[in-house]
C-alpha cells in the first residue's frame, strides 16, 4: 500500500544554512523544494505549484517583495499561500509583506515549532478552502441538473399529449387517410419524445440501451 502523498513546501532563501535548517525542520512531514533567488523561485512555483512558500525578503537581484508581487499577479501561483520568513523584524516590514498578499510573517531567528505550526495552519486553511469550493461546485451542478430535469419534464408533455391524442383519434377514425395522418403524427411525436429521453439519460450515463431501442424502432 503506497504512502499518502506529502504536501509540498518551497523554501526561498539566499542563505544555505537557513535552507538546511528549514529543510531539517519540515522534511519529515513535507516534500521540500529549495531555491536561492527570486527568478528561480517564480520558475519553481509555476512548475511544482507548492502548497506553501517560505520566502525570504532580502535577496540579491530580486527581493521577496518583488517575488510575491510576481506570484500574486500570476494566474497559476496567485493562490499559493506565502509566508515571509525574514531577518527584517520591524512592524513596517511586516505590514508591507502582508499588504502584498503574504499569508503570514515569521521573523528570524525562528523557532522550529513556530515554523511547523505556521506552515500547518496555512495548509489547513487551503484544504478548507478547497472543500468549500468543491461543495459550492457540487451544489451548483445539482441545481443545474434539477433545472434541466424540470425543463425536460415540461418539454416531454407536448409530444406525449400528441401521442395520446392522435392514438385516440386513430382508434375512432375509420378513414384510412386520416388514420395514416394520425399515425404519422404519432411517429413524429414518438421520435421527438425519444430524443428528449435520450438527452435526459445522457447526463446520467445509461444511454446505450435507449440508443439500441431507437435503432430497433427505426
DSSP bridge pairs for 82? 53
Check whether the bond before 204 is cis (ω within 30° of 0). Answer: no
For the domain spanning 135-217, the CATH number is 1.10.287.130
Helix 112-172 vs helix 176-202: crossing angle, to nearest 10: 170
Say what the pLDDT of residue 209 is: 44
Separation of alpha carbons 134 and 46, rounded Å? 23
Say what the pLDDT of residue 99 is: 94
Instruction: Tell which CATH architecture fits domain 7-110.
Output: 3-Layer(aba) Sandwich (3.40)
So where are the chain's domains? 7-110, 135-217
Separation of alpha carbons 3 and 60, rounded Å? 39
Say what the pLDDT of residue 218 is: 46
Measured CA distances, 96 to 4, 89, 119, 153, 199 (Å):
37, 12, 20, 57, 55
- Please give the average pLDDT of every successive group of 10 residues along the chain, which has 218 residues: 78 96 94 96 96 95 95 95 92 93 93 94 86 81 75 71 76 72 79 74 51 45
Q: Would you call 110 helix, strand, or coil by DSSP?
A: coil
Q: Within 10 Å of residue 150's Cβ, how many Cβ atoms?
A: 10
Say what the pLDDT of residue 140 is: 82
Separation of alpha carbons 32 and 205, rounded Å? 42
Q: What is the DSSP letter of 104?
A: E
Q: Do domains 7-110 and 135-217 have the same CATH topology?
A: no
Say what the pLDDT of residue 207 is: 41
Amino acid at each position: 500500500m503506497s504512502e499518502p502523498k506529502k504536501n509540498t513546501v518551497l523554501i526561498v532563501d539566499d542563505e544555505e544554512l537557513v535552507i538546511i535548517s528549514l529543510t531539517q525542520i519540515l522534511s519529515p512531514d513535507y516534500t521540500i523544494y529549495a531555491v536561492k533567488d527570486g527568478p528561480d523561485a517564480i520558475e519553481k512555483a509555476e512548475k511544482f505549484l507548492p502548497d506553501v512558500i517560505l520566502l525570504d525578503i532580502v535577496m540579491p537581484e530580486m527581493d521577496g517583495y518583488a517575488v510575491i508581487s510576481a506570484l500574486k499577479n500570476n494566474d497559476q501561483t496567485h493562490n499559493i499561500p506565502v509566508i515571509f520568513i525574514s531577518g527584517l523584524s520591524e512592524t513596517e516590514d511586516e505590514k508591507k509583506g502582508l499588504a502584498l498578499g503574504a499569508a503570514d510573517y515569521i521573523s528570524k531567528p525562528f523557532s522550529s515549532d513556530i515554523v511547523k505550526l505556521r506552515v500547518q495552519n496555512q495548509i489547513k486553511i487551503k484544504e478548507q478552502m478547497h472543500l468549500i469550493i468543491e461543495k459550492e461546485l457540487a451544489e451548483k451542478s445539482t441545481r443545474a441538473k434539477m433545472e434541466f430535469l424540470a425543463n425536460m419534464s415540461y418539454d416531454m408533455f407536448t409530444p406525449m399529449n400528441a401521442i395520446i391524442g392522435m392514438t385516440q383519434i386513430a382508434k375512432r377514425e375509420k378513414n384510412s387517410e386520416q388514420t395514416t395522418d394520425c399515425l404519422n403524427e404519432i411517429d413524429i411525436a414518438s421520435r421527438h419524445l425519444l430524443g428528449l429521453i435520450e438527452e435526459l439519460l445522457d447526463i446520467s450515463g445509461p444511454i446505450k440501451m435507449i440508443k439500441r431501442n431507437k435503432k430497433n424502432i427505426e
